[in-house]
Chain A
Amino acid sequence: MRRLCAPLLTAALLAPGCERAADERAVASPPAAPSERASSAPAGAQAGDDGQWLMPAKNYASTRFSELTEIDATNVGRLRHVWSFSTGVLHGHEAAPLVVGDTMYIVTPYPNFLYALDLSDPPGRVKWKYEPQPIRAAQGVACCDVVNRGAAYADGKVVYNTLDNHTVAVDARDGREVWKTKLGDINRGESMTMAPLIVKDKVLVGNSGGEFGVRGWLTALRLADGGIAWRAYSTGPDSDVLIGEDFEPFYEQDRGKDLGVTTWPPDAWKIGGGTVWGWISYDAELDLIYYGTGNPGPWNPEQRPGDNKWTAGVFARNPDTGRARWAYQWSPHDQYDYDGVNENVLLDLTIEGRERRVLVRPERNGFVYVLDRTTGEVLSADAFVHTTAATGVDLETGRPIEVPEKKTGFGRVVREICPAAPGGKDWQPSAYSPRTGLLYIPHNNLCMDMEGLEANYVAGTPFVGARVVMYAGPGGHRGEFTAWDPVNGRAVWKIRERFPAWSGAVVTAGNVVFYGTMDRWFKAVHAETGEVLWQYQLGSGIVGQPISYRGPDGRQYIAVLSGVGGWSGAVVSGQLDVRDPTAALGFVGAMTDLPDYTAAGGELHVFALP
């Protein structure tokens, strides 16, 4: 059931006419003067931009901020499409291209090709193509399209994960495989889709597959030879979670021995989820990495009483040893599939007169959290979407204030759960500009109903499952692109999108923000006002991560992969039946018109000024 014409519920969403959702801006409040914001990215994010793009988030602070200024708000209207390249793959293209010197590297979804493209004039020649040949059966294990979120570069190697649980390091010059390490087992439901982060001499990677009762982990491999240095599980005894005497969580409920066991029914932690398929950040001064954990599984909430640690939360760890410094759960005892794996944007902000080293997290449960990243204390948590499942976050305890009427249970009919299972925001990473002090968040505007039961069948075993149907939230549009002021905890402007804004974002020192839409528009937006300055329609919907780089000719380029897919786009890339509103875990119900706007097809697109 789609509700394209649901009544307007928030003042922020003032655009008239439900079908004209896209492109209409509604200014919630005027942008604050820059002097009021006093915010910046930490030193790690401002080391000077060499014009390359070596990791999907651009820098360890994960700001996706490009210091290049040739393309700016005054001239971006003249931006032109300069070259493109088909990947030959039809699944959802969620990766960010990398640019190293005069070469661009792109990773495709399964079968996980790695292309090296020459950026010299004329650009786009294939230098080499690496084919890891993942096991075909891995496709049957991926929950939500066989995506890949990109590679990372260091020390002459391009490193990425394959769907069938291998991390590979490829020689950046010639495409030769340097090492390949198997980390998981598709036979047990594991897969890998996330982009690695390389910190010092280690490659950090995590697994996917919470839907299959996989136990989540983060693993550090040695960059030199691919050997495993350490592995930290998200559930289980402290010895497995790498919790020791130096573990100092901020909140009382997170202190105690073996909470990864005692907050579960006996043994349930062994198949407890908490997979690590999202983003990792790194603070070099504190020498801590930060990453989130997925939702608990595979039991239903009533079958796993307790906080189910350490699922749907965030860890701060030492990258050399893996030892946890602190941990915090966004959604203890998650009942809605709110994975906690989104990006962790590391900023230094002045909050109530105090300089704070913070971690900003637009979280799936609908709140933008600002945490003190030295301690794990929640400084603020403000809703960036319509939320009905929780009214806020209790800053004393750090726990969401849940609404009892929205509690799920077997056979219970619960309507208007907002946000829906993909959350206020899913994996799609935001960008932060130290110039404007704003976080640019591509996200969803979706609610869901659990309305009764339907027969299901797995491995010869019949059962009845919840019938989940998703639909547009207030305003009738399914996506938004929001500029968020993390100091004052409020939206500064919003752009409404017909479909969930499922691409990443990039923001430049030229005060331009780029993102793409599932209905194929690649957009340039004024970073201060949200005015759409330029847009260009590509061949397939955009769920990739745009980048900004300097070519060998010294000029600034913007690049993005198109190719619709992912969980939201599975109705197209997986050729799901639009007559099944509950397909793709209920997401198809909200996306039945996507095939009217886009077909599948992966392509790289590059833009520049004339």
Chain B
Amino acid sequence: MCSPCRERRSVGVSGVLPLILILILVLAAAAAGCADETPQPAARELRVCADPNNLPFSNDREQGFENRLADLVAEEMGATVRYTWWAQRRGFIRNTLRSLACDVVMGVPTSYELVLATRPYYRSTYVFLQRREAAFRVRSFDDPVLRRLRIGVHVIGDDYANPPPAHALASRGMIANVSGYSIFGNYAEPDPPARLVRAVAAGEIDVAVVWGPLAGYFAPRQHVPLELTPVSPEIDLPFLPFVFDISMGVRREEEGLRDELDAILERRAGDIRSLLREFGVPEHSPPDFNAQANHLDAGGAGR
């Protein structure tokens, strides 16, 4: 599923500006008496690096909100979208953005240092996800009921790090009642990280702590009603945030493209918010469009 070379074009609606440009060029060429060699301006492409199998973000059937966002951006640019598909794992940026296969990643943490990030276009939070029918309602990592429940979290790898819920539970001594679900899962199945949501619906676990957009999209698609509750606290001490700002990312040196994307994000902020609502992304609070760097800036260079 994560073939790096499956590329697909999806046609965005051309803007007015290119048409005017073409007209000018045609006229200029005609005036110079070389109409037979009219230079056609190359059609602009928005080259997007994306995971082909990870809803609600993206897939190669272009059903994710990042696919829709790419269409929206392309529309503003008068460009067509061209995808480079690659599973979003370690090496994703290296194999896509950095290898020049594509120019924009539609979603990264704003303080992600492998890229030059745009202004954030949403802020979300990790949530507790449970069956609505349950007798308990988990609201905080300090809720005593957690110790009696079977808890599921995503695990990432031995990169000296895991998603924040795994650390928050371990630091409170909750280990034996916590199950890890690989974020990578089985990539032969659709949307592997969603397995954690399905585990709650199926009763494999009592509660999961899940990144908001994933929970918000898949929870309503289960056969039993599920309930999302933003986690508390928002930041665990000494420094473990559960709330993240998300931006688009471009290569570090491409400030021009970043500025162009920033302008589009500002111009289309209302449409983007509607899009995120349609996909059930739990919005934590409106992102600060003037933020230069968010609270997550841990300093130093990234990986």
Contact B94 A459 (CB under 8 A): no
Q: Mark A458-501, 1 if CB is under 8 A from B, else 0.
A: 11111111111000000000000000000000000000000000
Give the distance in Å from the alpha carbon of A83 to the alpha carbon of B188 in the complex.
45
Query: Is A468 a contact partner of B158 (Cβ separation < 8 A)?
Result: no
List, in ascending order, chain A residues with CB within 8 A of B4's CB. Answer: 136-137, 139-140
* Cβ of B25 to closest chain A Cβ, rounded Å: 37
**Complex formed: what's the CA distance from A339 to B239 in Å?**
29
Q: How far is the CB of A592 from chain B (nearest CB, A)?
A: 11
- Asked if A460 contacts B213 (CB within 8 A), the reply is yes
Of B161, B176, B213, B300, which one neighbours A265 at CB under 8 angstroms?
B176
Segment with Cβ contacts to A, from B10-18, B31-39, B105-113, B269-277: B105-113
Q: Are B211 and A460 in contact (CB under 8 A)?
A: yes
User: Which residues 92-128 of B sit at the A interface, judged by CB distance below 8 A?
Assistant: 92, 94-95, 98-99, 107-114
| A300 and B3 form a contact (CB under 8 A) | no
Asked whether any CB of chain B lies closer than 8 Å to the CB of A354, the reply is no
Q: Which of B1-27 contact A (CB under 8 A)?
A: 1-5
B51 touching A452, Cβ below 8 Å = no
Which residues on the B side are within 8 Å of A579 (C-beta)? Answer: 301
B70-109 near A? 1/0 per residue, CB < 8 Å: 0000000000000000111111101100110000000111
A536 at interface, CB cutoff 8 A: no
> Chain A 114-150, CB within 8 Å of chain B: the 1/0 string?
0000000000000000000000110111010000000
Q: Which residues of A contact B159 (CB under 8 A)?
A: 211, 456, 465-466, 585
- Whether A576 is near chain B, meaning CB under 8 Å from some CB there, is yes
Contact B166–A303 (Cβ < 8 Å): yes
A452 pairs with B180, CB closer than 8 A:
no
Which A242-290 residues sit within 8 Å CB-CB of chain B?
A: 265-268, 271, 273
Best-buried of A337, A457, A467 by chain B (most CB within 10 Å): A457
Give the bracket for the number of chain B residues in contact with chain A: 35 or more
Chain A residues with Cβ below 8 Å from B213 are 460
Q: Which chain A residue shows the least CB distance to B153?
A: A303
| Cβ–Cβ < 8 Å partners of B87 in chain A | 137, 140, 459
Closest CB of chain A to B228's CB: distance in Å? 16
Q: Which residues of B contact A461 (CB under 8 A)?
A: 154, 156, 163, 183, 193, 211, 214
Contact A577 B98, beta carbon cutoff 8 Å: yes
How far is it, in angstroms, between the C-alpha of A265 and the C-alpha of B169 when the chains are bound? 13
A454 and B3 contact, CB distance less than 8 A: no
| In the complex, residue of chain B having the shortest beta-carbon distance to the beta carbon of A585 | B159
B296 contacts chain A at the CB level, 8 A cutoff: yes
Q: Is B182 an interface residue (CB 8 A)?
A: yes
Q: For residues 566 through 586 of chain A, which have their beta carbon under 8 Å from a beta carbon of chain B?
A: 574-577, 579-583, 585-586
A455 within 8 A of partner (CB): yes
C-alpha spacing A574/B94, complex, angstroms: 8
Contact A463 B175 (CB under 8 A): no
Contact of A187 among B98, B187, B238 (CB under 8 A): B187
A51 at the interface (CB under 8 A from B): no
**Chain B window 204-237, contacts with chain A (Cβ cutoff 8 Å), 1 for yes, 0 for no:** 0000000101100000000000000000000000
Stretch from A172-180, A291-299, A363-371, A524-532 contacting the other chain: A291-299
10 nearest A-B residue pairs (beta carbon): A465-B161, A466-B160, A297-B158, A187-B187, A582-B303, A187-B188, A462-B244, A455-B109, A460-B57, A453-B298
The 14 sampled A-B contact pairs (Cβ below 8 Å) are A212-B89, A212-B157, A213-B180, A297-B157, A299-B158, A337-B160, A453-B239, A456-B303, A459-B192, A460-B88, A460-B213, A466-B161, A580-B113, A583-B303
Chain B residues with a Cβ under 8 A of chain A = 1-5, 51, 54, 57, 86-92, 94-95, 98-99, 107-114, 154-164, 166-167, 170-171, 175-180, 182-189, 192-193, 211, 213-214, 238-241, 244, 246, 296, 298-303
Q: Known contacts A187-B1, A299-B166, A411-B167; can you find 14 more A-B pairs with CB under 8 A?
A: A143-B90, A267-B180, A298-B162, A300-B162, A453-B161, A455-B109, A456-B159, A463-B163, A464-B240, A464-B296, A465-B161, A467-B298, A467-B300, A582-B300
Residues of chain A having any CB pair with chain B under 8 Å:
136-137, 139-141, 143, 185-189, 210-213, 265-268, 271, 273, 295-300, 302-305, 337, 408, 410-411, 450-468, 574-577, 579-583, 585-586
